[in-house]
Amino acid sequence: MSPAAADADPVSIDDPILAAGEAAAELRERYDELRRLESRIADLGVERVETAADAYRRAHRVLDQYEDDAVGTGDFGSYVQFEGAFANAVDVDDDTPAADAFAAADEAVDKRRLSERDFAAAREALEPAGEFVDLLTDRDDAVDEYRAARKTAKDARDALADRLAELREVAEMADADLDADVDRLREPVAAYNDAVREAFRSYYRSASARDMFGFIERADATPFVDIDLPPPDLRTYVDDHAAGEEPLPTLLEYADYSASKLDHYVDDPGALRTAVAVHKTYLDRIDAAPLTVEWPPAPGDELAYEIDELIPLVSRIADEETVATLRSIRELARSEAYERLRRAAAVRDALDEPELVLLRTGEIDDRVARAERTLRLVDDVLAETERE
């Protein structure tokens, strides 16, 4: 195991598990707080609390509106309007919460002449009723916080479910021999792929367009080589015109020439532009990928059969060393060691280092169990905290 692997912290890849647990706990707290506030309001009577809060707000609006004009020897009309407006604002039933506060506030300004001190006394008298405004505000804030916590918990639950699926996939890979010498397989595959790409680039640059398309058509005829055939009109042009004897890079270069310049190189400039220019995307996309061996490679029988088909094709464009490397991969694919190497390669390719650590240390089953327990917990909390 490398030093990086030894130092890796498997817990770091379990953030969805931790996040889901924390989100569930937060949702529970927000739900309980909301229930506490709603229960308190219900005990007092929702309508009674709202009546007290509304009266408190009305009273403060009147105080704020008239204070400047109704004090001292100011506007008598404003004073009269204030007295009426304030009396109406604090006119509540005797069973309204903080009814005494409203009565005390009314008494504080029930005078022939008002001062700023009287307005301050009225505000002070109203303070007990402000509790019910705060109570409703706290309830509304708690609703918002509950909804946000529930959304967070749902999102965390979904992320955890995805993580659990990933962990289960990792657990299914526990059969892989992570100590297997994967380089025994990786090195010849990489060497072959590099060589065949270079051979294909060389062939693409040097072979005539007709030969290149003939090679592509022959490759397409083999079941394990997935390559795009040339468009019919382009194939027809290459077959019927002398320019088809030129390599494809040359035809692409011609397609960028002006009409007057192109007339010096081909017999029918219009035909070349029509056939080649419109298919630049296809021509630029031609590469050796269909001739390479994928990584991780296919199962042994499948890979051996694929290589049987590749050898005649690769022999046309590559040197013997490249073909020999391909044959060596086929021999390995038929060996008893191949599936162990391929399985190890597939697992190493599929997993990040922290996940490989879970497999190496044997902790993966514990992680799966932990994720499953947390998922059940989150589901229970979501069900228990659901509101209509």
Residue 249 domain-assigned (yes or no): yes
Q: Say whether both 258 and 121 belong to one domain.
A: no
Could you list the pLDDT tens digit for every one of the 388 residues in the chain?
333 333 444 444 458 999 999 999 999 999 999 999 999 999 999 999 998 898 888 888 888 777 776 665 555 667 677 777 888 888 888 888 888 887 888 777 777 777 778 888 888 888 888 888 999 999 999 999 999 999 999 999 999 999 999 899 888 888 888 888 999 999 999 999 999 999 999 999 999 999 999 999 999 999 889 999 999 999 999 999 999 999 999 999 888 888 778 888 887 888 888 888 889 999 999 999 999 999 999 999 999 999 999 999 999 999 999 999 999 999 999 999 999 999 989 888 888 888 888 888 888 899 999 999 999 999 999 999 998 7
> Are residues 332 and 214 in contact, defined by beta-carbon separation less than 8 angstroms?
no
> Are residues 316 and 215 in contact, defined by beta-carbon separation less than 8 angstroms?
yes
Q: Say whether both 262 and 194 belong to one domain.
A: yes
pLDDT at 71: 66
pLDDT at 7: 42
Range list of β-strands (E), 30-90:
none
Q: Say whether both 121 and 199 belong to one domain.
A: no
Q: Say whether both 142 and 194 belong to one domain.
A: no
pLDDT at 370: 94
Q: ∠ CA(102), CA(107), CA(110), 5° rounding?
A: 130
* Domain's final residue, options 147, 170, 194: 147
Q: How many CA atoms lie within 13 A of 188 on its CB side?
A: 19
How many domains does the chain contain in total? Answer: 2
Residue 77 domain-assigned (yes or no): yes
* Domain's final residue, options 121, 147, 173: 147
Note the pTM of the prediction, 2 decimals. Answer: 0.62
Q: Say whether both 254 and 136 belong to one domain.
A: no
Residue 262 domain-assigned (yes or no): yes
Q: ∠ CA(344), CA(348), CA(350), 5° rounding?
A: 115
Q: Say whether both 133 and 254 belong to one domain.
A: no
Residue 285 domain-assigned (yes or no): yes
Q: CA 363 to CA 360: how far, in whole Å?
A: 8
Q: Say whether both 187 and 74 belong to one domain.
A: no
Q: CA 253 to CA 246: how far, in whole Å?
A: 11
pLDDT at 98: 81
Residue 10 domain-assigned (yes or no): no
Domain that residue 138 falls in = 29-147
Residue 384 domain-assigned (yes or no): no
pLDDT at 357: 87
Q: Say whether both 141 and 204 belong to one domain.
A: no
Q: Say whether both 111 and 219 belong to one domain.
A: no
Q: Say whether both 208 and 334 belong to one domain.
A: yes
Q: Say whether both 216 and 271 belong to one domain.
A: yes
Q: Say whether both 192 and 301 belong to one domain.
A: yes
